[in-house]
Structure 1
Amino acid sequence: MKFNRLLYIALILSGVSISSCKKDFLQRDPQTTITKPLFFLTTTDLETYTNGFYENLPTPLDDMNSDNIATHNVSVETDMLVRGQITQDNYGGWDTNDWKKLRAINYMLDNVGQVNGNQVDIDHYIGIARFFRAMFYFEKIKKYSNVPWYSSVLVDGDQALYKGQDPRAFVADKVLEDLQFAVNHIKTDGTNTRITKWAALSLLSRFALHEGTFRKYHSELGLTNDYSRFLTIAVESSTKIMTEGGFSIFGNGSADYASLFNATSLSGNKEIILWKDFDPALDVGHGASLVLNFNFALSRSLAESYLNTDGTPFTNFTKPFAQLFDNRDPRMKATINYPGWAQFGGAALHKINPTMGGYGQIKFYPSRADLNQGYIKQYNDIPVFRLAEILLINAEAKAELGPINQSDLDNTVNKLRSRVGMPNMNIGVALDPALVTLYPNANASNLNVLLEIRRERRVELACEGLRYDDLMRWKVGKLIQNSQQGIYVPALGAYDVTGDGVQDIAILESATNEAPIAGLPEPVKATLTKYYLKDASGKDNTFYLSGGNSGFVSFTRDRDLPRTFIEPKYYYRPIPRQQILLNDKLKQVFGWDQ
């Protein structure tokens, strides 16, 4: 009997049909043909069922799709978008696979009424289901803005199968309802690999900040008169975590900051609110080894965001790579491969790869060889929610609402800066023209502070999968159309990039013109890794230098196929045309019907 019940739940969660082969994601649902459920009899059943939802948690390892990435060699959605390669005819989604997660959640909520047990325990698991439903719809709102809200499983013939989208405002309020129920009913205790009240408050804080700022800066929604309600919720929910959750910023120094992302275990870490546990014994791993020069590298724009150690903005843009990390925010060395960095702390120093820009990502790269056992077999634990993000949510929401004071900064941003020995942010910090250029539409009574909070967020949370959403909600998608760059190269020739005083790589015009390195000792030349601006046929290679024989590493694809970000269209995605042909009540938003 136990095996049958577990098989049944597996079929439900996977979206496999028991007695129906219909294609429509709602009509296909197997549960609609079962008159007497085999499950949902005890709270243990609810625990078992909700355990299946945890695979929906993200594993954030990079900032792909954003201006934190210099270049990449894989198919990336926003890259296709800004090159005009996405249309309503070729865009996927909105099908069975897209909606089956919601179906599984709603099926439990439809059947939970028959469970026998303590109502507090039952409500705890209802809260977990509603947490995951809120997460599901949060992603849908970000992508489509208006989406149909379904709170239960539908049956054949139900007219709601053919409804149009519900307005964003309606769906966002439903997400709030789900999260507020989750906050009120999910228990506070438990391990930090399970959803607790604090994880629910974290998602509520993240959602409320996103929706509040999105409404503030996106006038096309017609919701600018209602943004402050969400930002107020973001302040309140983040404050509750800060004052009641018992969490604290971990450690003292850049090594402790780095260990949040490359450690064997995050168990017991007081900064971590929710984390994903990866274990070789269970063969549950991730792909963090791919972050270092395999598919992409980080951008000059991100590298220049790190302040000098005295708290002033970095402006020495043509500084050689070997000295670039000197006297900089220590978090830079915990994020970007630096001269002297070695894989797993070994003796062989890592050489940068200029074909990707040179700024390789080491954040999340495993710290030990036993945590890196092959393709998609890395086993360092990954944070999902941590206190640092909550502090930044609190600071940003207060700055967007205005006013914000020094005490607010000391309780948020300055806790993060203190960890790595950086000077505190002062309420009277000078307005940085570089930040004004990045975020020209930012609007707050304390603009200088708001922009510095955005810088702090970019630096502290770099590579944690949040940057793209930040650009979208701030309505600065134009940054994605900008061609990103890599390191500065003062001239063709050989360079020490490992910090050992010996040249490691050479950037040359071509294999037939190695004059810049002709005078080097033969043993040095023999160990150089050489990169050429032109291939054997004389054609431009994948990268070039912005000034010809000197300058910033740039990319020929961006030069030859420029990017264009169309506003407001590209802040959203199209519903596939085929889905609209099946249901003419579905409508494209903001120009995707053209």
Structure 2
Amino acid sequence: MKRNYILISMALLGLASCETDFLDRAPLTEITDTDFFKSASDLEIYSNGFYEDINASYQDPGTDNDAINLNGQVTMNQVVTGTLTSANAPGWTWSGDWAKLRSYNYFLQHAQLLDTTDEEIAHYIGIGRFFRAYFYADMVKSYSDVPWYNEALSADSEEMYKACDPRAMVMDSVMNDLQYAVDHISEDIGTRTRISKWAALALQARVALYEGTYRKYHAEIGLQGDYERFLEKAVEACETIMSSGQFSLYGNSGADYGLLFNSPSLDSNPEVILQRASDKSLGVSNNTSSVQGWQWSLSRSLMETYLMADGSRFTDQPGYNRMGFKDVFEGRDPRFKETFTYPGFRRTESGSPYIPKITAGCYDQLKFYPRDESLREGWDMDYTSLPIFRYGEVLLNYAEAKAELGTLTQEDLDRSINLLRALVQMPAMSLSDANAHPDAWLIEQYPNVSGTNRGVILEIRRERRVETACEGLRWNDIQCWAVGELFALNNEGAYFPSLGAFDITGDDREDIAILANPSNTLRLQGLPADVRSNLTLYYLEKEDGTDDGFYLSEGESGHINFTSYLQNPRHFISPKHYYLPIPLSQMTLNPNLKQPYGWE
């Protein structure tokens, strides 16, 4: 019988939210050893609580995919504006991050004691090792070297105060955990809301690709001579999924691509490997409607990444850098209108055309927004199901790993990238053409790519950015490719050729106006009275002389820019800013810890 893992975890693991410090808790073994872990069913119930720790993301905060994020607490915003220090850094607490690890290790220790079949025990040990690997892969991304623990420590254990273990040792342990999970977790679990062998393979591919490319492009960790085996493991994991026949891409249009991200159910979608399912009857919801017009919009840089529908580059179009809002939507890759809120979009069938948020850049996000208004019932009450691992990412991982290894062939592209393109009716990628004519616009973004495969690596990165936009993967990509300077860009929004009134909904009727200030309305003269009365007005300077958070890059014309970047200039320090500082309080508790690169 299916169990909803979120509700079960809330019921069974309520103690996990207790404010009592981890070190002060009574050992769980006083109750659980003898009274709880008696059957495989007990293991399932306990492990249900782990699913809260693996998330489905629906935005790319703090990256170059966002024009602006008004939430100043986004970690990368704090890093690049210099407001994050070891004194105010979050995380690393024994009552938070490390408590998750203790629950996994506790589970693993006691799963081996059950009187049941070896196969069942191995399946659940695989589940525990999957989550431990997921935890440590994230910790290594944040800190590089971290202490490795493979048992549930008691409060007085000296091991809790040991130094960090080397990244190489920790990542080998992560890969060992993932291989065990792949080898022992059941293939057929009857639902895509549970960890299966296929989800373990998808995570193995994601982690191996990340670590392999990280080692290849990051000299500071001293592991550049040991990256190929990770990329080879990524290829192997992807090939296992691809050859299984268990998954395929869904549909044959841009609209079908969009359905992956705004459907009430993904149970029958052949692309979904693992999902976070919604269920109104059980109160399982999300907040995906907030992606449109709340705290962020998407960036000019992301907009320019999408190709034209005929496969040519948008950035090769004459005057591409001065195209107005409506014009940039013409003749583009169909995924563009499934990701960006396009002119004429309506939230309801009978409603007015949606007006994008000028103060956030004008390129409002559409991907993940629930199109069916019956699925939107209020704040944090959206009822769409969200993919966590999907086959499209597997195809991207396969192509990228082979390209970085230098073994990519046209046949490889045809069974990966070109399947993604064919689904939305885009022309196929040619290996020879990509390498013969590398895109100068992409070279500027990724200047450290070199070699005979340079052009195709750049084009795969384009495809990856387009296909997975807003899915929470862009941060990882920028990190592992060692192009952290992209985090520090003052990302721009849409272009406006002047001040005045503009039609941005496509109905040939002016919808918004950008004026110098409330007193300067000369540019509105000549408009019909009914049009003027319905304009949404924006001012570079408000009545009291303060700004409205944005300006145009050329004064009275240009791309939307943001005054917050003027007040807090963004900068990226390499390699320091690829890592987070360990909180000072934890350094005080454990003097054996050392800060990551540059945070001393």
Instruction: Note if 1:241 corresponds to 2:241.
Output: yes
Question: Could you tell me how far 1:176 is from its partner in structure 2?
Answer: 0.5
Q: 1 CA distance for matches of 2:367 and 2:163? A: 43
Partner of 1:112 in structure 2? Answer: 111
Q: Quick one: which amino acid aligns to residue 309 of structure 1?
A: A
What is the correspondence of 1:353-502 to structure 2 with a 5 Å cutoff?
353-427=357-431, 428-429=433-434, 430-502=437-509
Shift of 1:280: 1.3
CA distance in 1, matches of 2:429, 2:502: 36
Q: Which residue of 2 aligns with 1:213?
A: 213
The one of 47, 54, 58 aligned to 1:57: 54
1:482-513 residue CA offsets vs partner (Å, 9 max, x unmatched)? 10000000111111111111111111111100
Give the secondary-structure state (helix, strand or coil) at the position aligned to 2:239: helix
Cα distance in 2 for partners of 1:153, 1:101 equals 10
Separation in structure 1 between the aligned mates of residue 33 and residue 439 of structure 2, nearest angstrom: 65
Paired letter, 2:298:
L
Q: Secondary structure at the match of 1:304?
A: helix
Count, aligned residues: 583
Residue 141 of structure 1 pairs with residue 140 of structure 2: yes
Residues 272-296 of structure 1 show CA distances to partners (whole Å, capped at 9, x for unaligned) of 1111101111111111111111111
Provide the C-alpha distance between the structure 2 equivalents of 1:407 and 1:293, rounded to a whole number of angstroms. Answer: 42
| Conserved 8 A contact 1:131-1:178 | yes
Q: How many Å separate the matches in 1 of 2:537 and 2:17?
A: 51
C-alpha contact (below 8 Å) 1:148/1:165 kept by paired residues: yes
CA contact (8 A) 1:403 1:446 kept: no
Question: One-letter code of the match for 1:445?
Answer: T
- Judged with a 3 Å threshold, the aligned counterparts in structure 2 of structure 1 residues 129 and 512 are, in CA distance, closer, same or farther, namely same
Structure 1 partner of 2:181: 182
Give CA deviations for 1:442-495 in whole Å, capped at 9, x if unaligned: 234310000000000000000000001100110111111110000000111111
Residue 541 of structure 1 and its aligned partner are, at CA, apart by 2.5
Shift of 1:344: 4.0
| Residue aligned with 1:86, SS | coil
Contact 1:16-1:30 within 8 A present in 2 as well: no
Distance 1:53 1:181 in 2: 18
TM score, norm. by length of structure 1: 0.96
Once residues 420 and 553 of structure 2 are traced to their aligned partners in structure 1, the CA distance between those partners, rounded to angstroms, is 36
Q: Displacement, 1:103? A: 1.1
From 568, 592, 596, the counterpart of 1:589: 596
Write the distance in 1 (CA, Å) between the matches of 2:30 and 2:92: 23
CA distance 1:464–1:230, shift in 2 (3 Å): same
Q: Is the 8 A contact 1:508 1:531 kept in 2?
A: yes
Correspondence for 2:526: 519
Aligned residues of 2:63 and 2:487 also touching (Cα < 8 A): yes
Displacement of 1:334 in angstroms is 0.0
Question: 1:31 is matched by which residue type in structure 2?
Answer: L
The AA in structure 1 aligned to 2:113 is Q
Name the SS of the counterpart of 2:314 in structure 1: coil
Q: CA deviation at 1:320?
A: 1.6
Give SS of 1:154's match.
coil
> Deviation of residue 9 (structure 1)?
8.7
Deviation at 1:29, TM superposition (A): 5.7
Unpaired runs of 5+ residues, structure 1, are 1-5
Contact residue 266 and residue 272 of structure 2 kept, 8 A: yes
- The 8 Å contact of residues 9 and 50 in structure 2, kept in 1 or not, is answered as no
Gaps of 5+ in 2: 1-7
1:545 aligns with 2:552: yes
Cα pair 1:12 1:31 within 8 Å, conserved: no
- 2:458 aligns to what SS in structure 1? helix
TM, length-normalised to structure 2: 0.95
Tell me the residue number matched to 2:4: none
Instruction: State the shift of 1:50 in Å.
Output: 1.1
| Correspondence for 1:332 among 314, 332, 336 | 336
Q: Is the 8 A contact 1:358 1:486 kept in 2?
A: yes
Alignment check: 8 A CA contact 2:9 2:52 kept:
no
Compared CA separation, residues 237 and 128, structure 1 to 2 (3 A): same
Give the equivalent residue in structure 1 for 2:227.
227
Alignment pair present for 1:274 and 2:278: no
> Is the Cα contact below 8 Å between 1:12 and 1:104 reproduced in 2?
no
Contact 2:208 2:231 in 1 (8 A): yes
SS in 2 for 1:330: coil
Q: Does 1:295 align with 2:295?
A: yes
Counterpart of 2:226 in 1: which secondary structure? helix
Kept after mapping to 2: 8 A contact 1:67/1:484? yes
Q: CA deviation at 1:10?
A: 2.8
3-state SS of the aligned residue for 1:84? coil
RMSD over aligned Cα atoms: 1.7
Please give the alpha-carbon distance, in whole angstroms, between the structure 2 residues aligned to 1:126 and 1:40. Answer: 13
Q: Which residue of 1 aligns with 2:16?
A: 14
Correspondence for 1:81: 79
Could you say which residue in structure 1 is the equivalent of 2:164? 165
Segment drifting more, 151-160 vs 457-466: 151-160
SS in 1 for 2:508: coil
1:325 touches 1:333 (CA, 8 Å); kept in 2?
Answer: yes
Distance in 2 of aligned mates of 1:63 and 1:40: 40
Q: Residue 483 and residue 132 in structure 1: after superposition, are their counterparts in 2 closer, same or farther (change >3 A)?
A: same
Is the contact between residue 111 and residue 124 of structure 2 (CA under 8 Å) also seen in structure 1?
no
1:41 and 2:38 matched: yes
Higher deviation after alignment, 135-144 or 537-546: 537-546
The 3-state SS of whatever aligns with 1:385 is strand
Q: Do residues 563 (structure 1) and 570 (structure 2) align?
A: yes
Distance 1:246 1:520 in 2: 59
One-letter code aligned to 2:426:
M
Distance in structure 1 (CA, Å) of the matches to 2:514 and 2:206: 44
1:512 and 1:49 map into 2 onto residues whose CA distance is: 64
* Letter aligned with residue 61 of structure 2: M
Cα shift readout 1:183-209 (whole Å, capped 9, x = no counterpart) = 000111121111110000000000000
Q: Which residue of 2 aligns with 1:320?
A: 324
- Where do 1:344-359 residues align within 5 Å? 344-359=348-363
- CA change 1:357–1:36 in 2 (3 A) is closer
Q: Tell me how far apart the structure 2 counterparts of residues 404 and 9 of structure 1 sit (CA, whole Å).
A: 49
Q: Distance in 2 between matches of 1:444 and 1:271?
A: 33
Sort the Cα spacing of 1:226 and 1:463 in 2 relative to 1 into closer, same or farther, 3 A: same
The alignment partner of 2:570 has SS state of coil
Alpha carbons of structure 1 residues 245 and 58: separation in structure 2 relative to 1, 3 Å: farther
Q: Residue type of the partner of 1:54?
A: Y
Post-superposition shift, 1:304?
Answer: 0.5
Q: Deviations over 1:288-341 (max 9, x none)?
A: 111111111100000010001111111212112122111001100000001111
Superposition misfits of 4+ residues, deviation over 6 angstroms: 6-9
Structure 1: how far apart are the matches of 2:482 and 2:350?
Answer: 43
Q: 1:514 to 1:334 in 2, by over 3 A?
A: same
Read off the aligned partner of 1:365 and give its amino acid letter: Y
1:506 alignment partner, SS class: strand
2:65 maps to which residue? 68
| Alpha-carbon distance in structure 2 between the residues aligned to 1:7 and 1:540 | 46
Question: Take 1:9 and 1:541, find their aligned partners in 2: how far apart are those partners?
Answer: 46
Q: CA deviation at 1:27?
A: 6.3
Q: Is the 8 A contact 1:42 1:116 kept in 2?
A: yes
Tell me which residue corresponds to 1:3.
Answer: none
The code of the aligned residue for 1:53 comes to: F
Give, in angstroms, the shift of residue 216 of structure 1. 0.6
Equivalent position of 2:253 in the other structure: 253
Kept after mapping to 1: 8 A contact 2:10/2:49: no
